[in-house]
Structure 1
Amino acid sequence: MSATPVDAKPAGPRRWGWVFALVWLFYLLNPLEAAWEKRDSLAGWVGVVGTLLFALVYAGAFMMLRWNRPEGTPFRVSPNRSLGLSVVAVEIALGVVVCAAVGQPGTATAVYVAVITMISLPALLAWPVVMVVAGTTYGATILVDGWTKDTGILFGTLVAALAIWGISQAINRNIEVLAVREENARLALEDERNRFARDLHDILGHSLTVITVKAELAQKLFDVDPERARAEVTDLERLSRDALADVRRAVEGYRELTLPGELARARVALEAAEIEAHLPNSTDDVPSSVRELFAWTIREGVTNVVRHSRARTCTVTLTPTSAEVADDGHGPDESAAVGGNGLRGLRERAAAVGATVVTTAREPGFSLKVVVP
């Protein structure tokens, strides 16, 4: 997931979020007005300066934490706990000064202390601080002479802290959901790339094997049988065009793979390799749900026979629940039989429909069989 650099300014709607947050400083006008009414005394000027400094520290801390959080990252408190504690301590001290200078109107600072505490400290530490600030402020309205009991300040302080905590949790959950979506999209893209690579291997592996065999055969026939050599070269052109069409279909996201078509391809490939082919005459008994899987089985099996087996005969057997390609050669080498890309792709396709791929070394020969339950 991409993120804005730490030193970059927020863009778009996020750029103006600070306006929404800092507009609530409007409620500090009450203690500021009370201090201004006492401007003819030292306490009044202390109240004015204290209130302005309180607002400045609050705004500065909020902007610092906001702008240092890259866009798209979770809502976190300051990574520097000492800095967060210092900010909270300064705000509490300034709040006490304002209350001492202007009286009960200064208790409005408690709400801002609660907010700055929630965005400056971890929740496990912030909540006890908020509770102490709320309880102390409410207690002061009861115990300090000349002040009136104010349940609203207790409620407002706790609700403000709860609101900030809730917003942070909502932001974090939304970011987590977006991260999961991006991860799912990445995995889907990776799966699609793997599927495409597997299909491209199967398509080109088969086609290029047949083209190579026919090219070798044509080269041998040039001096012995020019007419047949010319026919083989003509087949080479056709096969190369077919391979190109297969690749184009794969790139476009679809391919026309049919069981009869693969049987026809198998006959051509085996004849080109001078391997006697024993193929079924009909595919009518094969259910439509497994025809594509069986077609891939024939393509992979015949490709391996032509490429590795040095067989004299190859037999393809189809039943409603299985497809088998068997030969009388020496079979593929161990790595090709167990972990080749083609067999790996075939196993993935078989697993998708609950089928099983069985490879068997025989004397002589090798068998590749796919069985559906």
Structure 2
Amino acid sequence: MRDKHRWWAFGLVFVLLYVPAVAWDLAGRTDRPLWWRVLTIALLLAYAVSWLALPVVLRFQDGDVGRRTVFCVALTVLGLVVVGLVGLDEAGLMVYVMASTAIVLPAWRAIAIDGAVLAVLVGALVVEGRFPDAQASLGTLLSVSLGMLAVGRMIRANRALDLAQEEIAALAVTAERNRLARDLHDILGHSLTTITLKAGVARRLLESDERDRAYDEVREIENLTRQALGDVRATVSGYREVSLSAEVVGAREALRAAGVRADLPHAVDNVRPDLQRVFGYVLREAVTNVLRHAAATRCEVRLGDTWLEVRDNGRGHGAGTPGTGLTGLSERLAEVGGRVVAGPLAGGGYRVRAEVA
């Protein structure tokens, strides 16, 4: 939603700063017939209003590339018509549509459309003999287009990562709910079955007037009930606890969704039980940094009874900058007498290691 508002504001600023000046200049061209001026200004205004329709295009899902392509092609053709009527001196009117095309379309489609625009403009300038004087303007258009291509790729990558993380989070919630339901079923099923049998015995003993034995059975029922209640509370209290084994599963799914080859352990039994929770936090933060900052293609996780290490082959920076959560991890490890060591590797990549003395 924020992206749509930003683009709408950017388009509005571009309209207000650029279009009125061009329209005023067109209105003052007394060397042109009135109908030509009216038609040109109308097309210019239609072209400008279409910029503000970009937020609608951003609502299209990633699969609707065809609709976005049609919109961008139509907007490009309209822009070239306007520039042809107004004059090549106003070729800057194509900046916004070229930037928008580079962002909202896949790279090869954006290159084809923006490349066609540059080819048309170069051809027209060559025909008019003005190409040498317009090289700076064309260079600006080319630079803007290439820069927006990079921005578009980054936006799509972040969007794909966000969607993957949302899906993983939903799957994790579902899996945890299933686990909780299974645990409660096992706990209550066993406890309630035993309590039911004990209650039946106590009833029969009371009916046969064996009160002392019946009282013993009732006391056992009371103890079983308290134990079952304690088991339920322990299960529910652990519902939001961080689990190292669950974090390994989540990390594997997150890395797979991001296209990163994951080399993770299949079990965490060799880690001390009292360290598994804090190591779960370490693994979550380290893998998040790999996904967001490292641009890695491979991630490796190794662990021992008192240590955990996460390595990647990314660009080796960004994960250790302030505000990424490593300070919080250091504080968590300090509570159990450990520390976090993070930094780039000599051969490339990045390492986060947590260890407890």
TM-score, length-normalised on structure 1? Answer: 0.53
| 1:79 maps onto 2:67 in alignment | yes
Q: Which residue of 2 aligns with 1:23?
A: 13
**Is the 2:57–2:68 Cα contact (8 Å) retained in structure 1?**
no
Q: Distance in 2 between matches of 1:85 and 1:288?
A: 58
Which residue number corresponds to residue 278 of structure 1? none
Distance 1:110 1:192, change over 3 A: closer
Q: Distance in 1 between matches of 2:53 and 2:148?
A: 17
User: Where does 1:39-54 land on structure 2 (aligned, <5 Å)?
Assistant: 39-42=29-32, 46=36, 50=40, 53-54=43-44
Q: Deviations over 1:75-133 (max 9, x none)?
A: 9756265554333322222221222xxxx413323434534554676643442232232
CA displacement 1:172-191 (0-9 Å, x = unmatched): 11111111221222222223
Identify which of 142, 145, 161 aligns with 1:158. 142
Indicate the residue corresponding to 2:46 in structure 1: 57
Return the letter of the residue paired with 1:166.
A
Q: Which residues in structure 2 correspond to 1:308-323 (within 5 Å)?
A: none
C-alpha displacement of 1:288: 12
- Is structure 2 residue 213 aligned with structure 1 residue 228? yes
Give, in angstroms, the shift of residue 192 of structure 1: 2.0
Q: Specify the alignment match of 2:190 in structure 1.
A: 206
Structure 2: distance between partners of 1:146 and 1:173: 40
Counterpart of 1:247 in structure 2 is: 232
SS of 1:42 mapped into structure 2: coil
- How far off is 1:214 after superposition? 1.4
Q: Any stretches of 5+ residues in structure 2 without a counterpart?
A: 240-269, 274-357
Query: Quick one: percent identity of the two aligned structures?
Result: 31
Where in structure 2 are the equivalents of 1:258-277 lying within 5 Å?
none
Q: Does the residue aligned with 2:238 lie in a helix, a strand or coil? A: coil
Q: What is the correspondence of 1:95-134 to structure 2 with a 5 Å cutoff?
A: 95-99=83-87, 104-115=88-99, 117-118=101-102, 123-134=107-118
- CA 1:82/1:147 → structure 2, altered by over 3 Å: closer, same or farther? closer
Deviations 1:40-65 (A, max 9, x none): 211698467525623x3333333323
Residues of 1 paired with 2:37 and 2:129: CA distance? Answer: 19
SS at match of 1:150: helix
- Aligned equivalents of 2:108 and 2:271: distance in 1? 61
CA distance in 1, matches of 2:3, 2:76: 28
Preserved contact between residue 85 and residue 121 of structure 1 (Cα < 8 Å)? no
The Cα of 1:153 is off from its aligned counterpart by 2.3
Shift of 1:218: 1.9
Residues of 1 paired with 2:129 and 2:271: CA distance? Answer: 90
Cα deviations by residue, 1:300-331 (Å, 9 ceiling, x for unpaired): xxxxxxxxxxxxxxxxxxxxxxxxxxxxxxxx
Counterpart of 1:94?
82
**Secondary structure of the corresponding residue to residue 93 of structure 2:** helix
Deviates more, 1:60-69 or 1:80-89: 80-89
In 2, distance between residues paired with 1:157 and 1:240?
Answer: 76
Structure 1 residues 117 and 210: alpha-carbon distance in aligned structure 2, compared to 1, 3 A threshold: closer
Instruction: Name which of 140, 153, 162 aligns with 1:178.
Output: 162
Tell which structure's C-alpha radius of gyration is larger: 1
Question: Is the contact made by 2:7 and 2:55 (CA closer than 8 Å) also made in structure 1?
Answer: no
Relative contact order higher in (CA < 8 Å, ≥ 6 apart): 1
Tell me, yes or no, if the aligned pair for 1:137 and 1:153 is still in contact at 8 Å: no
* Closer, same or farther: CA 217–204 of 1 in aligned 2, 3 Å: same
Q: What is the letter of the counterpart of residue 189 of structure 1?
A: V
Kept in 2, the 8 Å contact 1:119–1:164? The answer is yes
Output one character per residue of 1:227-251: Cα deviation in whole Å (capped at 9) or x when no partner: 2122212322232232223222322
Task: State the distance in 1 between where 2:271 and 2:75 align.
Answer: 71
Deviation of 1:225 after TM superposition, in Å, equals 2.4
Could you tell me whether the CA contact under 8 Å between 1:78 and 1:119 is conserved in 2? no
**Which residue of the other structure, out of 177, 180, 185, is the alignment partner of 1:193?**
177
